[in-house]
Amino acid sequence: MVISVTVSGFEKTGKATLETLLRLVVALGLTKELESLFLQKPTSIKELEEASRPLRQRVPRKKMS
Considering the entire predicted model, what is its pTM? Answer: 0.50
Indicate the average pLDDT of the chain.
Answer: 83
- pLDDT digit string, tens, across residues 9-22: 888 998 989 999 88
- Percent of the chain at pLDDT above 90? 8
- Which pLDDT score, from 0 to 100, does residue 42 have? 66
Q: What 3-state class would DSSP assign to 41?
A: coil
Angstrom distance (rounded) from CA 15 to CA 25: 14
User: Between the CA of residue 9 and those of 24, 27, 34, 45, what are the distances in Å?
Assistant: 12, 16, 22, 44
pLDDT > 70: what percent of the chain?
Answer: 94
Q: Average pLDDT of 46-58?
A: 79
